[in-house]
Amino acid sequence: MTSATPTDPDCLFCKIVAGEIPADVVHEGAATVAFRDINPQAPLHVLVVPRAHHENAAASAAADAEGFAALFAAAAEVARAEGHDDYRLVFNTGAGVGQTVFHTHLHVIAGRPMTWPPG
């Protein structure tokens, strides 16, 4: 995995990945860490983050396609381990759509009915 900026010392998720800030970690892989969202929107709401710092999903995909794909593999493992065959995956890319931490993160959401389009 390559990255122009492997970590950001001011990034909340970089600090969680480094173990500097506690989180309820449910899965760790070579390229990813998954932990429970502190404001869950469903019975299962886990964030899967790359270990390398990139601002958003588009930046991650452009910089490290293999690492980006690892996010999806980790999300599937988390959902399966939590007993869910049906789940939703969400990226928010940019403040205008709700991204508040500017480190790529994939939301894994399951355990309740989901409507379309999302709100």
Sign of CA dihedral 31, 34, 38, 39: positive
Q: Which of 53, 54, 84, 105 is catalytic?
A: 105
Identify whether 105 is a catalytic site residue.
yes
Query: What residues act catalytically?
Result: 105
